[in-house]
Chain A
Amino acid sequence: MNIFRLAGDMVHLLSFVVLVLKINATKSCRGISLKTQELYTLVFVCRYLDLFSNFISMYNTTMKIVFLGTSFAILYLMRGHKVIKVTYDREQDTFRYLFLVLPCALLALLIHNAWTPFEVVWTFSIYLEAVAILPQLVLLQRTQNIDNLTGNYVFLLGLYRGLYILNWIYRYFTEPHYIQWIVWISGIVQTILYLDFFYYYIKSWKNNVKLALPS
């Protein structure tokens, strides 16, 4: 495992910590898209179907369990927690799941590495992860007064994908036959979706003003 991959995973992990921290400390999930959280949970469930059948390392297995556990914990906080669930911006979080899930499912049926149920579901998770942030980005644009932790959360998610791209470049040059078109193209699309956000995030940070996305 190279440093980019490890840094990417740690940043990804940190994004969960920041999100749980924000929700717990403020007892509010204002500005957080439940739809994005549900899509991420679906992504992890579909991707880690091999959790018990395909052992790679203790690190991998542990991280997978942590990602799954945290995702479900966040869903519980946003949907089940008495105090927190009333702070959810239901009226603003209107992105339709089907617009994302259906095209990704169709694409996975058409473009995959092998025609097996496991492989198609895994490919679906790769495609879905690339676009799962969209409801969150739309909600962010609608939310006035984005709090710092929400901004940092989205920034960390984007940074994680950027670091994975560096990891793929590194692996391409250091490991023979390491070519993964589906993962690479999806990952690049995913990172591009963040570019606009990055621009405003860095600008607000440099000018020391509160983050606000133009609508």
Chain B
Amino acid sequence: EIAAAEKDEL
């Protein structure tokens, strides 16, 4: 799943 780890920016 791409969603979780890479969405750590605002």
Chain A interfacial positions (CB closer than 8 Å to B): 5, 9, 12, 50, 54, 56-57, 60, 63-64, 67, 113-114, 116, 118-119, 122, 164, 167, 180, 183
Contacts and interface: CB of A to CB of B under 8 A. Distances in A.
A170 to B, nearest CB: 12
Q: For chain B, what secondary structure do more than half of its interface residues adopt (helix, strand, loop), or is it mixed? A: loop
Contacts, number: 29
A50 B3 contact: yes
Interface residues of B, number: 8
Contact of A67 (B3, B9, B10): B10
B2 to A, nearest CB: 5
B2 A60 contact: no
B7 A122 contact: yes
A57 B9 CA distance: 11
Most chain A CB atoms below 10 A, which of B7, B9, B10: B10
Contacts of A122: 3, 7
B8 A60 contact: yes
B10 A60 contact: yes
Contacts of B9: 5, 164, 167, 183
Nearest to A179: B6
Contacts of B3: 50, 54, 114, 116, 118-119, 122
Contacts of A183: 9
Contacts of A67: 10
Contacts of B2: 113-114, 119
6 closest A-B pairs by beta carbon, nearest first, are A56-B8, A113-B2, A63-B10, A114-B2, A54-B4, A9-B10
26 contacts: A5-B9, A9-B10, A12-B10, A50-B3, A50-B7, A54-B3, A54-B4, A54-B7, A56-B7, A56-B8, A57-B8, A60-B8, A60-B10, A64-B10, A67-B10, A113-B2, A114-B2, A114-B3, A116-B3, A118-B3, A119-B2, A122-B3, A122-B7, A164-B9, A167-B9, A180-B6
